[in-house]
Amino acid sequence: MAVATRGLVKRYGRQPALLGLDMSVPPGKVYGFLGPNGSGKTTTLRLLVGLLRPQAGAMWLLGAPYTWRDRKRLYRVGSLIETPVFYPFLSGRDNLRVIGSAGPPTPSARIEQVLDYVGLHDRAGSTVKTYSLGMKQRLGVAAALLSDPDLLILDEPANGLDPGGMVALRETLRWLTEQGKTVLISSHLLSEVEQLADIVGIVDRGRLLREGPLEQLVRDTGQIRVRVAVEEMPRAADILRRVAPDRQLYGIDRGPRAGWFHVTFDPARAAEVNRALAEAGIYAMGVEAGNDLETLFLQLTGGVTPGAPPPGPSA
């Protein structure tokens, strides 16, 4: 594993931040680390780059056990933790020179190279205090890439980026994984992670709730919503249980949402559900399939009540 943690515990005073976090980031993949604010994402990343020390648990970095004392392991790790930080009175290029003089040796040609990667070459001579948030973010990514790391740890890297910057970041990260690098990216921009990540880990209240390949997670926790006539609900429930055995199913039999069933099922099989109902002579008045990461995220982290009424019936 490029990164692994087992039973990682971190408290700030009495305030728990991580309560036994287990995560596994395979090499050569983009790992999307998701969680609501205060869930422990940044604390985890800080622990991984030696800024904090855990109270309990173990970490592995780039295939070997890791503690904060193994600082030279970080020579192979590039990171951007929280907001990008720089000397405001220095230019972007000079900041990279200072950063490049810490840790692993960095040839000056590499500075120009990473400035090109993030599209900052033209403004590299301006002082950082004149940069927009998006430019600082790009400089932060450039700083993370300075040592040509095997593992890139990025905390909310898309913050402040304009759409063009986000596309460029996405392409850069994709290109890096094609080179065999591993990217661990934390974000609250679910659509970004959905487009980037191969593996997703969802954390809340200091614990990992779900982890796995994005497609599999969505498939396993996707939801199909189907609306039938209220008087046909008992028969429809039997058919749905047959089509999707052992899956969560509930129906709404009164109120304005009466007739809607919610079944936790692979959204790609919505047509199969509809056909099964039709073959039994039950014609659905509406079929919806929710298979996005956002739904999964909100269900797991309690952002919405699982199986809350759908936004509205569709014909």
Partner 1 sequence: MRLALAEFFGMRKRMATYVVLIVLLVLMGLVYFAAGIGARSVGAEAGGIFQFPAAYAFIGQFVFGLGSLLAVAYAAAVAGGDWTWGVPRLLIARGHSRAGYVLAKALALAGMLAVGVVVAFGVGILFNFAAAAIAGVELGNPIAGDGLVELGKSLLLGFPVVLERALIGFAVAIVLRSQLAGVVVGILLYIGEGILVTVMVAISIFSRGMDLLGGERSGPEWFQYLPFTVGDSVLTPDPAATIGEGLEGLILRQVPLEQALIAVFLYGLVSVAVSALFVERAEITA
Which residues contact partner 1 by CB under 8 A? 12, 46, 49-53, 71-75, 77, 79, 81-83, 85-90, 94, 97-105, 143, 146-147
Min CB(95)–partner 1 separation in Å:
8
Using the minimum distance from each CB to partner 1, give the nearer residue, 94 or 253: 94
Q: Can you read off the two tokens belonging to residue 14? A: 């009495």
Q: Least distance in Å: CB of 117 to partner 1?
A: 17
Residue 82 · residue 35 · CB < 8 Å: no
Output the six-digit token pair for 256.
């304005």
Q: Which is nearer to partner 1, 85 or 237 (CB)?
A: 85
In whole angstroms, the minimum distance from the beta carbon of 72 to partner 1 comes to 6
| Cβ proximity of 42 and 187 under 8 Å | no
- Least distance to partner 1, CB of residue 84, Å: 8
| Residue placing its CB nearer to partner 1 in the complex, 52 or 202 | 52
| Between 97 and 121, CB nearer to partner 1 | 97
Nearest to partner 1 of 43, 221 (CB atom): 43
CA 118 to centroid of chain Cα atoms: 21
In whole angstroms, the minimum distance from the beta carbon of 142 to partner 1 comes to 12
CA distances from 202 to 233, 292, 298 (A): 35, 14, 10
> Residue 180 is encoded by which pair of tokens?
């065999």
Q: Under the phi-then-psi rule, with left for phi > 0, alpha for psi from -120 to 50, and beta for the rest, what region is 313?
A: beta
Are 2 and 25 in contact, with CB atoms under 8 Å apart?
yes
| β-strand partners of 56 | 9
Q: Can you tell me which residue has the tokens 């692979």? A: 266
Reduced to 3 states, what is the DSSP secondary structure of residue 250?
A: strand
Of residues 49 and 199, the one with the C-beta less far from partner 1? 49
Q: In this structure, how many other beta carbons lie within 10 angstroms of the beta carbon of residue 281?
A: 8
List, edge to edge, every strand of the sheet that includes 30-34.
77-80, 151-155, 182-187, 30-34, 199-204, 207-213
CB of 55 to partner 1, least distance (A): 11
